[in-house]
Chains A and B, each alone.
Chain A
């Protein structure tokens, strides 16, 4: 990322500073994660006198995108940066590989099993392959069972722990 100074009037702000400010913008559906943890901010660059933040949706139908856009604009403007433009790109398409290590840890503490790398359903050959077996975020047991590929939001699958019997969300690989 270029760290060149962007200037607003007499104020000079670096793109590093913008990235830093974005750390306080959280995902509305999983509030423990920031937009940076999710890996949905792809680029920060100057645009005219302002700044442009490029984001990408997790899923095509993600209903949180508009709210994330507003939060980014509000956060940056509250810190004296304007105008702020948020643009959405689709390619390269978002993947859970972009989720930060920090984000994965926070997810687990929050009670959502983080994505297991390399288990995405990219290939149809894998139609009836074994579902990934995430650890239970409550008791840590490895004996867990897929209940449904579809969970409370587009990015999650529903599991149940066979040991403590608690249901839990698994952030599925994408």
Chain B
């Protein structure tokens, strides 16, 4: 691997020396969030507290993985090296992943899973709304398609936030703990890195500065309705978007990738 750049954005990742590579990097940045969260959610398959929740979480996982697939296909086309979406998903090391730290955090319990989902859904919903206006037609199309699905996700996670927060003493405590612990990770989503800035200046990327106040407004609104305390805002953990991850991502990828690593090209 080449360590050619000095800025943190290029240190661990393929440096963007041209517009095409920047667009690939940006596409991966969006796709990786969806894939990693989709993989996390699918760990619930067969283990959720109720059948309906099991079905809901795996449906959401499927949507997210499907969205990431559309994005990886685009990235593979842009790359033009004959690789497929599977190559990008299964044969990349953790330091090449660009997902935010929030989505790689472990499931822990149902409250954590719901809080993580809620924090991400609010962002994702705002992000895709803006991305539908992208100058890049393909990204705009994928955003339009995905947005319809995310509407169901945000509804599910918001309703559960309120149900758990404004529920029993135990459910309130559990969701408050999850909110407090995960809070550290939510700022990263709306912080711009080099890739975001370049894509924004080209009319392709989403203006995260514009999203940030809306994001916190929406989050606080639901937390208030859920009778939950709103933690102090800063400083937030960051690094995932630049390829610097927690140890959790490596474990997740080990499980997700082992089949293709052990039996390259295996199909069924």
Shortest beta-carbon distance from A79 to chain B in Å: 29
Residues of B with C-beta under 8 A to A57:
66, 145
Query: Does B125 sit at the interface, judged by CB under 8 A?
Result: yes
Interface residues on A, range: 20 to 34
Instruction: Spell out A's residues near B (CB within 8 Å).
Output: 57, 59-63, 90-93, 120-124, 127-128, 147-152, 154, 158, 174
Query: Does B159 sit at the interface, judged by CB under 8 A?
Result: yes
Q: Which 9 A-B pairs have the closest CB atoms?
A: A61-B66, A60-B66, A91-B141, A61-B62, A150-B56, A148-B52, A150-B59, A93-B145, A121-B151
5 pairs from A and B in contact (CB 8 Å cutoff): A57-B145, A61-B62, A91-B140, A122-B151, A149-B152
Contact of B148 among A120, A127, A148, A158 (CB under 8 A): A120
Query: Does B23 sit at the interface, judged by CB under 8 A?
Result: no
Q: With A121-B151, A150-B152, A152-B55 known to touch, is A60 a contact of B144 (CB < 8 Å)?
A: no
A59 and B56 form a contact (CB under 8 A): no
B140 to A, closest residue via Cβ: A91
B155 and A148 form a contact (CB under 8 A): no
Query: Does B194 sit at the interface, judged by CB under 8 A?
Result: no
B55 and A158 form a contact (CB under 8 A): yes
B70 and A148 form a contact (CB under 8 A): no
Residues of B with C-beta under 8 A to A150:
52, 55-56, 59-60, 152, 156
A60 and B152 form a contact (CB under 8 A): no
B63 and A61 form a contact (CB under 8 A): yes
Q: With A60-B63, A154-B59 known to touch, is A122 a contact of B148 (CB < 8 Å)?
A: yes
Contact of B69 among A60, A124, A149, A158 (CB under 8 A): A60
Query: Does B154 sit at the interface, judged by CB under 8 A?
Result: yes
Query: Does B65 sit at the interface, judged by CB under 8 A?
Result: yes
A93, A127, A152 — most chain B CB neighbours (10 Å): A93
**Complex-state Cα separation, A13 to B69, whole angstroms:** 35
Residues of B with C-beta under 8 A to A120:
148
B67 and A151 form a contact (CB under 8 A): no
Residues of B with C-beta under 8 A to A151:
55, 59
Instruction: Spell out B's residues near A (CB within 8 Å).
Output: 52, 55-56, 59-60, 62-67, 69-70, 125, 140-142, 144-146, 148-149, 151-152, 154-156, 158-159
B63 and A158 form a contact (CB under 8 A): no
Q: With A59-B149, A60-B70, A174-B148 known to touch, is A127 a contact of B142 (CB < 8 Å)?
A: no
B55 and A148 form a contact (CB under 8 A): yes
B66 to A, closest residue via Cβ: A61
Contact of A59 among B63, B141, B154, B156 (CB under 8 A): B63
Contact of B142 among A62, A90, A124 (CB under 8 A): A90
Q: With A124-B151, A149-B156, A150-B60 known to touch, is A91 a contact of B144 (CB < 8 Å)?
A: yes
**Complex-state Cα separation, A150 to B41, whole angstroms:** 14
Residues of B with C-beta under 8 A to A93:
141, 144-145, 148
Residues of B with C-beta under 8 A to A63:
62
B225 to A, closest residue via Cβ: A128
A61 to B, closest residue via Cβ: B66
A89 to B, closest residue via Cβ: B141
Contact of B63 among A92, A121, A124, A154 (CB under 8 A): A154
Shortest beta-carbon distance from A63 to chain B in Å: 7
B158 to A, closest residue via Cβ: A127
B55, B56, B60, B63 — most chain A CB neighbours (10 Å): B55
Contact of B65 among A61, A121, A122, A148 (CB under 8 A): A61
Shortest beta-carbon distance from B145 to chain A in Å: 4
A124 and B125 form a contact (CB under 8 A): yes
A92, A121, A149 — most chain B CB neighbours (10 Å): A149
Contact of A60 among B140, B145, B156 (CB under 8 A): B145
Contact of B52 among A122, A123, A158 (CB under 8 A): A158
Q: With A60-B69, A62-B66 known to touch, is A91 a contact of B145 (CB < 8 Å)?
A: yes
B66 and A124 form a contact (CB under 8 A): no
